[in-house]
Amino acid sequence: MKTLLDLDNWNRKGHFLFFKQMDEPFFGVTVEIDCTIAYANAKNLKTSFFIYYLHKTLVAINAIESFRYRIAGDQVYIHDNIGGSATIGREDGTFGFSLIDYDSDFRIFEKIASAEIERVQNTTGLFTLTFNEENIIHFSAIPWINFTSLSHARSYSFHDSCPKVSFGKMMISETGKRIFSMSVHVHHGLIDALHVGQFVDHFQELMNSQSTKPIIIPKSQLHS
């Protein structure tokens, strides 16, 4: 489900119209994430660390309203929930795009993600489904590289407003802390650095939590 955003009463209307006309309206940042507790939690749950932090990413995405905005023509829609299109690697070295529906319950999400990963790994080619969904983020893991910045292949003729989140190689610091890089690219017509900061802070909070249940952010802490 999605709701039409009232542009005329949106305090960011001018920002939207300004950045929407640009050839490259996306901007990106790379930050370091402490994944020490999250990695231990995933091991205790006997689950995939990839699925674990993908779920945390989607919990944080769904908590920040601006990350659920998508552009359709000259309009902006607010989606009720956002899933993930993650790149899934195969034994032959290729990868395919997945479609993983979001569920706030980790164990339900784990089953959904595991089934979709298995499906993609048993197919060939890049597109294994018809991708018409807008209520997704583009998600990827690059576990071979400890990157400090990242760019994405982009076609300017293809109108896209989905956030792109990527993770790098997990490293162990001298103090034993586990860390990895997270890259976040977003459409500036919909999302500002303020909102990216909210997302990063909330994601780190979720990664530090012992609970698999979403943390509710008070509306007073969110800015649109």
Q: Where are the domains of the chain?
A: 2-221
Looking at residue 220, what is its pLDDT?
A: 42
How far is the CA of 160 from the CAs of 3, 20, 85, in angstroms?
A: 18, 11, 14
End-to-end CA distance of the chain: 20
Query: 13-22, 26-35, 139-148, 205-214: lowest mean pLDDT where?
Result: 205-214
Active site residues: 188
Is residue 59 within 8 Å of residue 214, measured between CB atoms? yes
Domain formed by 2-221, architecture: 2-Layer Sandwich (3.30)
Q: What are 51-61's pLDDT values in tens digits? A: 999 999 999 99
**Distance between CA atoms of residues 86 and 49, nearest Å:** 14
What's the pLDDT tens digit per position in 4-39? 999 999 999 999 999 999 999 999 999 999 999 999
Q: Do the beta carbons of residue 179 and residue 32 sit within 8 Å?
A: yes
Alpha helices in 6-46 (DSSP H): 13-20, 36-44
pTM recorded for the entire structure = 0.92
Decide if pLDDT at 224 tops 50.
no
Q: Which of 63-72, 105-114, 207-216 has the lowest mean pLDDT?
A: 207-216
Would you say residue 111 has pLDDT above 80?
Answer: yes
